[in-house]
Chain A
Amino acid sequence: MFSEMLVKLWENGIIQMGIWETIYMTVLSSLIAYVIGLPLGVILHITDAEGIYPLRWVNRILGLFVNFFRSIPFIILMVAMLPVAKLIVGVSLGNRAMIVMLVIAASPYVARMVESSLKEVNAGVIEAAQSMGANNFQLVWKVLLPEAKPSLIIGSVISMVTILGYSAMASTIGGTGLGQIAISYGHQRFNPDVTWCCVILTVIIVQVIQEIGTWIAHKTDKRYSGGSAVK
């Protein structure tokens, strides 16, 4: 029923390894992308004309920068950024280089996701906090981010799924993971069942991320009487 190749890949643990590498690349890249993208998103939001600390030029320039990276298709950005990866981690091949590329591609995306979550916070609540003498740091730290938390979590799920897609692409040109297995064992050696196996595994991983993320977001959201909000 299965091709010899698929059986062999499984028995040698290559598929299991691919699952692990895909998850590992996705999670690690997402984390680093958030370390960079979250502050960028906050800056984009607060320096907006309607924000708590309007800075027209900072907002413009940062916005342009973010849009520039967002408008380049990942596959092209990846190739263009190989030298940058080499500069940062010393190599332009392998998973470490791929993570650099994923972070470069994902951080601007994350910044926009964060910005849109923060936009959902009711302006009246910000104004109330200002009327109590909160400074800008307190507004971000104690009002904007906590009030946007459920939406930020949902956004991070969407980002992670996008990054997982990127990581599959990245693995085809020099990384490892399910994408690479699908290309080199499935596509290039004519084993469609290997390809399909990778597809199904990816779908499962996406589903798991989605379910866990949504569950956490709902659990932490105090706006609904369900979940932990009930006394």
Chain B
Amino acid sequence: MIELRHLGKIYKTANREIVALEDINLSVQDGEIFGIIGLSGAGKSTLVRCVNLLEKPSSGHVFIDGEDITEFDRKSLLSLRRSIGMIFQDFNLLEQRSVLRNVTFPLEVSGVKRAAARERAMELLKLVGLSDRAESFPSQLSGGQKQRVAIARALATNPKYLLCDEATSALDPNTTRSILELLKRINQTLGVTIVVITHEMKVIYQICDRVAVLDQSRIAEEGKVSDVFADPRSEIARELILPERIGISWQKTSSKEQQEEV
């Protein structure tokens, strides 16, 4: 379980202080897909980066499986990070490494033997449907394929959690759908708990169990996706949801149609 308690983050720049997060309280249950949605600048990336302490919170605590990681020393923190995978909007693959060696990278970092690492990497590439591209380089892949490699890489160390920061924002709608399906499958078959950051309601609607709406550094609303969707209470949730509703009801039918076609 991931628990954020009274989490706050203030960035100090040369001439002023920027409040990026204020008194955030959240719990992400094991096995669920938890969505965090908000407009640009709301603090979503900052929030997710506090979960593995890529960003150090200014106040409050982060509990992972009951342990307060804000008190971890450097060594425990590094080993904790190996149990939390993360993927990004622009993939962040190592450009000078082949697909296979991108996936073995986290294993190398944690000291797994080369042969075992390769074997594990091939398994994961199979899972994401890219077995035949193991020797390619990132520059030779499409955006969707790159994100698949990034997912395989994030899963290499068998993490319990997967953090996704706008993982589909650079992809077209079809590719987005296939990546979301892959995430859902990973959640269901491997039991990985997933935190999804997005500014698109569609993403939340398609795969999340629960959602928190972030507005101007604070949580405006939180609940089951179906509840928030049916009855948005906060101004910001209504703003995010209402324009999407028409789109989603359309999409629901269109994905049904597609299933029938298949």
Q: State the A residues within 8 Å of B (CB).
A: 122, 124-125, 127-135, 138, 142-143, 146-147, 149-150, 220-225, 229, 231
Contact = CB atoms under 8 A, between A and B. Distances in A.
A147 B86 contact: no
Per DSSP, chain A at the interface is helix
A144 to B, nearest CB: 11
Contacts of A135: 78, 109
B139 A133 contact: no
Interface string B197-229: 000000000000000000000000000000000
A131 B86 contact: yes
A230 to B, nearest CB: 8
A224 to B, nearest CB: 7
Nearest to B163: A131
A223 B95 contact: yes
Interface-centre pick from A125, A129, A131, A138 (highest chain B CB count, 10 A): A131
Interface in B143-182: 150, 153-154, 157, 163
Given A131-B86, A146-B94, A229 B81 contact: no
Contacts of B98: 222
B139 A222 contact: yes
Given A138-B109, A147-B94, A231 B135 contact: yes
Nearest to A130: B54
A125 B110 contact: no
Given A131-B86, A132-B109, A138-B109, A224 B94 contact: no
Q: Give the one of A132, A146, A223 with max B CB within 10 A.
A: A132
Nearest to B136: A231
Interface in B55-102: 78-82, 84-86, 88, 90, 92-98
B119 interface: no
B137 A222 contact: yes
A81 to B, nearest CB: 38
A133 B79 contact: yes
A131 B54 contact: yes
A127 B81 contact: no
Contacts of A231: 135-136, 140
The 10 closest A-B pairs by CB, nearest first: A133-B81, A128-B92, A132-B106, A131-B86, A133-B82, A124-B92, A222-B137, A133-B78, A134-B109, A223-B139
A149 B109 contact: no
B96 A222 contact: yes
Interface residues of B, number: 35
Contacts, number: 87
A130 B49 CA distance: 11
Contacts of B95: 122, 125, 147, 222-223
A185 to B, nearest CB: 47
B13 to A, nearest CB: 12
Contact of B81 (A124, A130, A138): A130
Quick one: which of B86, B92, B135, B138 has the most chain A CB within 10 A?
A: B92
B244 interface: no
| Chain A CB within 10 A, most for which of B52, B95, B98, B105 | B95
A131 B86 CA distance: 7
B108 interface: yes
Contacts of B157: 132-133
21 contacts: A124-B90, A124-B92, A125-B92, A127-B54, A127-B88, A128-B88, A128-B93, A134-B109, A142-B109, A146-B94, A146-B97, A147-B94, A147-B96, A222-B95, A223-B95, A223-B137, A224-B139, A225-B139, A225-B140, A229-B140, A231-B135
Contacts of B84: 131
A45 B227 CA distance: 49
A224 B90 CA distance: 18
B244 to A, nearest CB: 28
B123 to A, nearest CB: 18
Given A127-B88, A132-B153, A138-B109, 16 more contacts: A125-B95, A127-B54, A129-B109, A131-B54, A131-B81, A131-B85, A132-B109, A134-B109, A147-B96, A150-B96, A222-B97, A222-B138, A223-B137, A223-B139, A229-B137, A229-B139
